[in-house]
Amino acid sequence: MNRPGLNIPPSLLLILLWFTIGTSHASAQSVRQEQMEIYLHYACRETYRSMQLQEGDIDFLNYLDYKADTGCTGVVHVGFTLSPSEIWTFTADLGMMSDMRFSQMNISASRIVNNTGRYTSWGVSAGISAYPVYLNEFNEYHLLRDTGLMADLDANYRQETLYDPGLDLMPFLLYTKNRLSLKAGTGLRISSFMPFNLLIRQKKDGGNFRREIRYETLYKPALTSISTLHATLMLSDKPGLSVGLQAGAQLLFGMRSIPYKRTILTWTAGNRVTDKITPGSKPFTVTEVSAGIVIRF
Amino acid sequence: MKVFRKILIILLIANLVRIIPGCCDCDGPATFFSFNKTGITNLDNSGIFPQSSASDTMRAAAVAFEVSLYDSTGYWYYAALPAKSGAGFSRATAMSCDCAYPMQARAHLTNISITTLFPISDQIAAGAEVSGLFAASLRGNYAGDGVYITPEMLCSQTENKIYYDSGIESFGLFLKPEVQSANARFVMRFTLSDGITLTDTTALITIRP
């Protein structure tokens, strides 16, 4: 019985065999070099900026983690690292704060440039990152100042998530010996707080007077320094699946402010006054210390 | 037996046909009515949002009234009438057709003129035209959303306005300056686009600081 579907020329079979062997050989090589990690960290993030006097206009950065119960903001990090070779490493990191949603995503690529010793090497890392922080109870500015008025008709707890996406570039040093690896780097980051809108509605207690204050914050890119330190200790160095412990620390420092446009509507929408306000830049730091487990395979 | 099956099929088809026009037809033509009656009630606006008040006493900075313009023949009762249905052929619907009944005023509001019968302050004497001292708010916006609108904006929003279920234009008027007299009372004139003016007078208000 003639079966033309299986009638493959011997030369084509040889090509297919060569390709298959070549591919499996290549993947065997890449398995040896390729390394993946999944990690789970709990981080304690502290955002700090010195409180400015509220004599004039509101400065939103005064309300960073304002009146927070704990000393720092808890962040759960889940990340994935892919090292296709010893030179390149790609990392995607998701961060979740107390609102139980992933509001932070950091993506970075790092490359080993040169080995400086038997166990040490240096490289460069670049990536995009966002460090969301909470602005709490910013309406207190009006509650304290606008006496004689119901200063905020919104009785809800006022909280805004402030995102700070940016691009960072960082040279780093890597020390690897046996099951321990240390990575330390410092570099620059350019970022801007994401604009947000806020509305404060006011009414005179025992009167008809009504006022509405609309805030629209504006982009203002800022240059900050970023420094990191990461330590990984693998509990076993067997090939295949292995588990380890990780710890890290990160510090961001820069001079930051949030400029904004303020529109005050008095009695009616037509009676409005708009001002652009730029609070002075002041030192701003984000410190994060984290620890967790890593699974390498 | 065959006859019984045929009857069942015919009944099934008849019931399926009922579903085809089974959507509620709520796009009926608007019924026209005329604003020919006014009603003014007192508002207590000392709190977060205004509430109707039976008291004739108001805070000096919270003098406010609710005005209703409507048709004295009571067209809004149309909304309560049962919807007309095809004779002998009712539609099958998943629920009753709760259609809002569209109504439109023949003449819309073009101007609000308010005269004070008592002095409001040393600068604003009795008999003065004070409509510019009032801010307005639509009744549906009493819950404290945003600031007021001007009486001019209030008038312009009544043009070509479709009123659902009730042909009543209802809004609040809020006096901006604080009343310095012991009493307050206002005459309000509402001019319509057909030239008719409706006039009403507020209750005599006793002012408390």
Q: Which residues of B touch A205 (CB under 8 A)?
A: 46
Task: Summarize the confidence of residues A140-167 as an average pLDDT.
Answer: 89
With CA atoms as reference, the chain A residue closest to B144 would be A153
Task: Summarize the confidence of residues A140-166 as an average pLDDT.
Answer: 89
Return the percentage of chain A with pLDDT > 90, whole number.
Answer: 56
Q: For B118-138, what is each residue's pLDDT tens digit?
A: 999 999 999 999 999 999 998
Contact between A270 and B175 using a beta-carbon 8 Å cutoff? no
Which of A119-123, A279-283, B5-9, B180-184 is predicted least confidently? B5-9
B99 by DSSP, 3-state: which?
coil
Q: For B61-74, what is each residue's pLDDT tens digit?
A: 999 999 999 988 76
Rama region for A100: left / alpha / beta (φ>0; ψ in -120 to 50; rest): left
Q: Which residues of A touch B147 (CB under 8 A)?
A: 210-212, 265-269
Which among A150, A207, A211 is the nearest to B61, CB-wise? A207
d(CA A31, CA A26): 9
Which among A150, A208, A269 is the nearest to B175, CB-wise? A208
pLDDT for position B176: 96
- Asked whether A250 and A108 are in contact (CB, 8 A), the reply is no
Contact between A209 and B45 using a beta-carbon 8 Å cutoff? no
Q: Which residues of A touch B48 (CB under 8 A)?
A: 150, 153, 203
Q: Most B CBs within 10 Å: which of A200, A205, A208, as the mutation test of the B interface? A: A208
Residues 142-171 of chain A with CB under 8 A from chain B are 150, 153
Q: Which two tokens stand for residue A15?
A: 């090509």
Task: Summarize the confidence of residues A230-257 as an average pLDDT.
Answer: 90
With CA atoms as reference, the chain B residue closest to A151 would be B48
Residue A148 binned pLDDT confidence (cut-offs 50, 70, 90)? confident
Residue A297 binned pLDDT confidence (cut-offs 50, 70, 90)? confident
pLDDT for position B30: 82
d(CA A180, CA A236): 10
**Residue A47 contacts by C-beta under 8 Å, 6 or more apart in sequence?**
A64, A65, A73, A131, A133, A284, A285, A286, A287
Q: Which helix (H) or strand (E) holds B167?
A: none
Which among A153, A211, A270 is the nearest to B48, CB-wise? A153
Residues 166-195 of chain A with CB under 8 A from chain B are none
* Most confident range, picked from A141-150, B70-79, B141-150, B180-189: B180-189
Q: Does the structure show a pLDDT above 50 at A32? A: no
Rounded to the nearest 10°, the torsion over CA B174, B175, B176, B177 is: -160
With CA atoms as reference, the chain A residue closest to B148 would be A268
Which of A68-77, A114-123, B38-47 is predicted least confidently? A68-77
Nearest to A103 by CA among A194, A201, A191: A194
Which of A13-17, A280-284, B77-81, B172-176 is predicted least confidently? A13-17
For residue B166, count other CB atoms closer than 10 A to its CB: 20
Residues 245-284 of chain A with CB under 8 A from chain B are 265-270
Residue A5 binned pLDDT confidence (cut-offs 50, 70, 90)? very low
* Most confident range, picked from A60-64, B100-104, B181-185: B181-185
This complex has an ipTM of 0.79
Q: Most A CBs within 10 Å: which of B147, B153, B157, B175, as the mutation test of the A interface? A: B147
pLDDT for position B79: 53
**Residue A132 contacts by C-beta under 8 Å, 6 or more apart in sequence?**
A95, A97, A103, A104, A161, A162, A163, A164
Residue A105 binned pLDDT confidence (cut-offs 50, 70, 90)? confident
With CA atoms as reference, the chain B residue closest to A153 would be B48
d(CA B7, CA B1): 10
Contact between B135 and A204 using a beta-carbon 8 Å cutoff? no
Residue A250 binned pLDDT confidence (cut-offs 50, 70, 90)? very high
Average pLDDT of chain A, as a whole number: 85
d(CA A261, CA B44): 35
Q: Which two tokens stand for residue A281?
A: 């830049």
Q: Which residues of B touch A150 (CB under 8 A)?
A: 48
Q: For A190-222, what is each residue's pLDDT tens digit?
A: 999 999 999 999 999 999 999 999 999 999 999
Q: Which residues of B touch A270 (CB under 8 A)?
A: 150
pLDDT for position A24: 39
